[in-house]
Chains A and B, each alone.
Chain A
Amino acid sequence: MIRVENLTKTFGSLKAVDDITFQVDGGEIFAFLGPNGAGKTTTIKMLTTLLRPTGGRILLDGFDPWVKQREARQRFGIVFQDPSLDGEQTAYENMELHGILYHVPRKVRGERIEALLKQFELWERRGDTVKTFSGGMKRRLEIARGFLHTPKILFLDEPTLGLDPQSRNQLWSHVKTLNAAEKTTVFLTTHYMDEADRVAHRIAIMDHGKIVAIGTSAELRERTQTDSLEGAFLALTGTSLRDEAASSTDQMRRFAQMWQRR
């Protein structure tokens, strides 16, 4: 479903993503783990057509997102690390806007919005503007929105960041249910090892822009002779703290400021 070959992204002299190759099968839940600044978000951005790779090849359901951009975009949904809802519109309007942008036919759209909002327990609040929602509700709405156009692949970039254990638990059970019911391939990143362990079929661990290990949780534990995924993670990536590299947006911003001062 997802094929990545020799994918590379450099910002100046920094190699954010360094020649990675991996594959995710249809219907699989695939977790992408790594310390801060390992290159996870950069990889997701390249997979989701937000950032142009420096080198390498991507195929999403057979489509290269940089050649057949619209076909590729139609096939995936994404929940970003930071919210991407329109706070001034209601939950229902946010869903409707998404449905129209993703060409969901009117009849299906109404039914699906209702079903998803009910499933994510937001139906009662459908008429309220999103800015009045709590962090957990916004997250739920974003994930419901991500499923709206029945994507073949759903990207979740740290979807549970800042949520309480109840919300996290509930969120993953929704994702698992939908993964099973709709055969959606899920590609997720997270910092919570227990989540990856519980939800993902396979796990890739990334560090310094490279994939250092890939396999099921059991395989990773076996390989590192540890008894938990967290132990395996630390064995593979070391225990030193990382400073997160500036995001591409920060870099662009700095660039723009330099340009303005010239």
Chain B
Amino acid sequence: MGAIYIMWLRELKRYVRSRAQILVSLGQPALYLVALGYGFGPVFAKAGMGKYLQFIAPGVVGMTVLFTSVFSGMAMLWDRQFGFLRETLVAPVPRIHIMLGRTLGGATVAIIQGVLILVVCLIAGFRPHVWAAVPASFIFVAMIAIVFAALGASIGSVIQDMQGFQFLMNFLVMPIFFLSGALYPLKNLPMVLSWITHGDPLSYGVDGLRGVLVGSWQFGFSLDLAVLAGLAAVLLGVSARLFSRIQL
């Protein structure tokens, strides 16, 4: 248990100590929120869909949590580069504990970031349909965080250099974001795109957030939660397995 705690604490300390980075990492989603939220607002309203800011805010929260959690997992690349990874690999504790600590730490950081950007959304003019929805949405923030922290950790256990990182960023993480319904509704899409969006785990996270926060559902609460929970379990298992197989 001690190992899980200390690895979790390490992630949190690193986060709290990099204050500049906290602001920078909130900048990008804030830009999406303001530029797209207000920019596409008139078109969206003309299409009879209501306020775009209301639509995009849950998507931006999902995006923040996605990027923060995936990156935290991939930060293992740095630990590999700077050598700290070895210290944890030879420690007399089950590697799954190390992995769980790291992943939960990354997820915690992502949850904090998600909550911060939700506050930014509220400042920018976003209004949930009921205020009680705000704490309720934390369930989905947490689920997204765990799923993608585990995904990031799996990737971090496998890739060894920056090229691999760039590759996965462009061909995995960005598509997960763009095809998730964070920016546009998943209704009436071309069939192929519709299939892809249904296969994107973030679609269920964003749908859950949007459902809870503004009351419009695509898949429904139970399906969203079931998909995310199932995926979290699978990915935690996969990441633990990949991590325990690392040799140097």
Q: Report A's interface with B, CB cutoff 8 A.
A: 45, 48-52, 69-74, 78, 80, 82-89, 93, 96-98, 100-103, 248-249, 252-253, 256-257, 260
Contacts and interface: CB of A to CB of B under 8 A. Distances in A.
A88 B164 CA distance: 24
B92 A103 contact: yes
A101 B17 CA distance: 22
Given A85-B84, A86-B84, A103-B92, A50 B248 contact: yes
B83 A51 contact: no
27 contacts: A50-B90, A52-B247, A69-B92, A70-B92, A70-B93, A71-B92, A73-B90, A73-B92, A74-B92, A82-B83, A83-B82, A84-B83, A84-B84, A85-B84, A86-B10, A87-B82, A88-B14, A97-B6, A98-B87, A98-B91, A101-B87, A102-B91, A248-B247, A252-B160, A253-B161, A256-B158, A260-B167
Nearest to B87: A84
A103 B89 CA distance: 15
A50 B79 CA distance: 16
Contacts of B17: 88
A74 B94 CA distance: 12
B87 A100 contact: no
B13 interface: yes
A80 B167 contact: no
B159 interface: yes
A100 B101 CA distance: 13
B248 A248 contact: yes
B22 to A, nearest CB: 15
B218 interface: no
B156 to A, nearest CB: 13
Contact residues of A: prevailing secondary structure: helix
- The size class of the interface chain B forms with chain A is 20 to 34
Contact of B160 (A48, A70, A97, A256): A256
Contacts of A249: 160, 248
Given A86-B84, A98-B91, A103-B2, 12 more contacts: A50-B90, A50-B247, A52-B247, A74-B92, A83-B82, A84-B86, A98-B87, A101-B92, A102-B91, A249-B160, A256-B159, A256-B160
Contacts of B159: 256
Interface string B88-108: 111111100000000000000
B3 interface: yes
A67 B193 CA distance: 50
Nearest to B248: A50
Contacts, number: 84
Contacts of B89: 50
A70 B2 CA distance: 15
Nearest to B160: A253
| Residue from A49, A83, A97 having most chain B Cβ neighbours under 10 A | A97
| 8 nearest A-B residue pairs (beta carbon) | A73-B92, A101-B91, A74-B92, A84-B83, A100-B6, A84-B87, A100-B2, A84-B86
Contacts of A257: 163
Contacts of A86: 10, 79, 84, 87
A71 to B, nearest CB: 8
Interface string B52-95: 00000000000000000000000000010011111111111110
A101 B91 CA distance: 6
Contact of B10 (A80, A83, A89): A89
B148 to A, nearest CB: 22
Contact of A85 (B2, B13, B87, B248): B87
A223 to B, nearest CB: 35
Nearest to B94: A70
B246 to A, nearest CB: 9
A89 B82 CA distance: 13
A102 B87 CA distance: 11
Contacts of B10: 86, 89, 97
A248 B160 CA distance: 12
A46 B92 CA distance: 16
Given A86-B10, A88-B14, A88-B17, A50 B92 contact: no
B6 A101 contact: yes
A161 B100 CA distance: 35
B34 to A, nearest CB: 32
A96 to B, nearest CB: 8
A246 B246 CA distance: 18
B3 A100 contact: yes
Contacts of B248: 45, 50-51, 248-249
Contacts of B6: 96-97, 100-101
Interface in B112-154: none
